[in-house]
């Protein structure tokens, strides 16, 4: 089995990249993709550990795009290496924008009367680059401004709440083009996060397939067998690879394990070969 969706301390996961690889081996995975938000910085250390342990490390990342429908559109990117490529340049811009958003978010929370500092949030993230809203949520809980992570999003951080600050985003087709120009494959992550289902979801999936997507994340840690089946049907209909992964984050999503998800995840080895066959020029 394999796991094509994990997060480390490079973004909002709680385990270092090397530890993700160790957890994959412990779970019995033959391959694991590291898919941190907006960054390939964990790929080097993860690959070194993977080579030592004899497991395949698939380079990856996850990009939050302009929403479609009512929810978010997240895109998983595979096979793009850190180094000069159109996508890597764009990731750099996204990280600068994230940093500016984070600084503005601290100011906004302070103006709302929350005693929070940038250093507090960075301390939670482990590095300045890795800071995301989940770290703000944890800090809000720590200072008593929220009761839980969910409560922090509901009161302050979610879209439409008082401390929501936009950051610049690409569209799904933008990402597809950048990824193909960089030699990689784009995959629609956790499709139900779009808030769509049925014909409305099928229409969006069809448009993304048309724009160059290679896969759809059908076997997802938190999806039911029925949902996985509906997404598998969409994959067949639009000639996309039905991929899968846990979306492991460590402490912030304690119900999910690398490779195993909630215990019922099992992404077949062959999916990796199918995905590789979608690389430009493959
Ligand atoms: P950021 O990229 O810094 O804006 O943070 C986005 C991350 O925040 C997502 O990947 C989720 O892990 C988390 N997130 C977004 N909305 C919520 C929510 N309503 N409840 C819990 N976590 C959320
Ligand atoms: Fe995340
Ligand atoms: Fe995501
Ligand atoms: Zn993710």
Cα separation values, 208 from 14, 74, 205, 215, Å: 31, 12, 5, 9
Check whether residue 41 and residue 178 sit in a common domain.
Answer: yes
Work out the pLDDT band at 274, boundaries 50, 70, 90: very high
Check whether residue 86 and residue 193 sit in a common domain.
Answer: yes
User: Residue 132 has what DSSP assignment?
Assistant: -
128 or 111: whose pLDDT is higher? 111
- Residue 2 Cα to ligand 4 midpoint, Å, equals 16
Q: Output the pLDDT for position 87.
A: 95
Q: Tally the residues of the chain.
A: 282
- Say if 163 falls within a structural domain: no
Check whether residue 42 and residue 110 sit in a common domain.
Answer: no
Nearest CA to ligand 1 atom 13: 134
Q: Give the E-state strand segments of 223-277 in sequence order.
A: 241-245
Give me the number of domains the chain comprises. Answer: 2
**Domain that residue 143 falls in:** 96-157
Work out the pLDDT band at 82, boundaries 50, 70, 90: confident
Is the CB–ligand 1 distance for residue 248 below 6 Å?
no
User: Residue 81 has what DSSP assignment?
Assistant: P
Average pLDDT over every residue of 157-176: 94
State both tokens at 99: 């940093």
**Please, are residues 138 and 176 in contact by the beta-carbon 8 Å criterion?**
no
Q: Output the pLDDT for position 264.
A: 93
Q: Output the pLDDT for position 211.
A: 97
- Residue 269 Cα to ligand 3 midpoint, Å, equals 22
Q: Which atom of ligand 1 is nearest to the CA of 135?
A: 3
Q: Output the pLDDT for position 153.
A: 97
Per-residue pLDDT of 91-101, as tens digits, reads: 999 989 999 99
Angle at 165 between CA 163 and CA 169, to 5 degrees: 155
Check whether residue 254 and residue 193 sit in a common domain.
Answer: yes
Neighbours of ion ligand 4 (CB under 5 A): 62, 247
Q: Mean pLDDT score of the chain, rounded to an integer? A: 95
- Residue 113 Cα to ligand 3 midpoint, Å, equals 30
Check whether residue 44 and residue 152 sit in a common domain.
Answer: no
Nearest CA to ligand 1 atom 21: 150
Q: Output the pLDDT for position 126.
A: 82
Is the CB–ligand 1 distance for residue 37 below 6 Å?
yes
C-alpha atoms less than 13 angstroms from C-alpha of 164 in its C-beta half-sphere: 9
Residue of 104, 133, 221 to test ligand 1 pocket, by largest number of atoms within 8 Å of CB: 133
Nearest CA to ligand 1 atom 18: 153
Q: Helix crossing, 118-125 with 133-142: angle to 10°?
A: 110
Distance CA 39, CA 29 (A): 23
Angle at 36 between CA 34 and CA 41, to 5 degrees: 85
For residue 169, count CB atoms less than 10 angstroms from its CB and return exposed for 0-12, middle for 13-18, buried for 19 or more.
middle
Distance CA 95, CA 40 (A): 11
For residue 131, count CB atoms less than 10 angstroms from its CB and return exposed for 0-12, middle for 13-18, buried for 19 or more.
buried
- Residue 277 Cα to ligand 3 midpoint, Å, equals 24
Check whether residue 72 and residue 111 sit in a common domain.
Answer: no
**Please, are residues 65 and 36 in contact by the beta-carbon 8 Å criterion?**
no
Is the CB–ligand 1 distance for residue 132 below 6 Å?
yes
The domain that holds 109 is classified in CATH as 1.10.150.650
Is the CB–ligand 1 distance for residue 134 below 6 Å?
yes
Q: Which atom of ligand 1 is nearest to the CA of 136?
A: 3
- Measured in degrees and rounded to the nearest 5, phi and psi for residue 25 equal -65, -45
- Evaluate if residue 83 carries a pLDDT over 90: no
Q: Output the pLDDT for position 30.
A: 98
Work out the pLDDT band at 204, boundaries 50, 70, 90: very high
The domain that holds 19 is classified in CATH as 3.20.20.140
- Residue 115 Cα to ligand 1 midpoint, Å, equals 21
């Amino acid at each position: 089995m394999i796991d094509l969706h994990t997060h480390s301390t490079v973004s909002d996961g709680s385990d270092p990249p090397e530890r993700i690889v160790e957890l994959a081996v412990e779970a019995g995975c033959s391959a694991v993709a590291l898919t941190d938000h907006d960054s390939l910085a964990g790929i080097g250390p993860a690959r070194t550990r993977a080579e030592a342990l004899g497991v395949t490390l698939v380079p990856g990342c996850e990009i939050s795009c302009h929403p479609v429908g009512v929810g978010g559109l997240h895109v998983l990117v595979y096979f793009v290496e850190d180094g000069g490529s159109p996508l890597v340049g764009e990731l750099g811009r996204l990280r600068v924008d994230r940093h500016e958003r984070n600084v503005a978010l601290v100011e906004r929370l302070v103006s709302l009367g929350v005693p929070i500092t940038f250093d507090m949030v960075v301390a939670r993230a482990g590095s300045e680059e890795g800071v995301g809203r989940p770290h703000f949520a944890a800090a809000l809980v720590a200072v008593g401004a929220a009761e839980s992570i969910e409560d922090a999003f509901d009161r302050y951080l979610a879209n439409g709440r008082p401390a929501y600050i936009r950051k610049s985003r690409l569209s799904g087709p933008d990402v597809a083009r950048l990824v193909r120009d960089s030699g990689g494959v784009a995959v629609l992550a956790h499709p139900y996060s779009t808030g769509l289902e049925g014909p409305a979801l099928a229409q969006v999936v069809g448009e993304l397939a048309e724009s160059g997507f290679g896969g759809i994340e059908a076997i997802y840690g938190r999806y039911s067998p029925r949902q996985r089946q509906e997404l598998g049907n969409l994959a067949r209909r639009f000639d996309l690879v039905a991929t899968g992964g846990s979306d492991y984050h460590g402490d912030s999503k304690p119900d999910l394990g690398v490779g195993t998800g909630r215990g019922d995840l099992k992404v077949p080895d062959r999916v990796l070969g199918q995905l590789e066959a979608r690389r430009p020029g493959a």
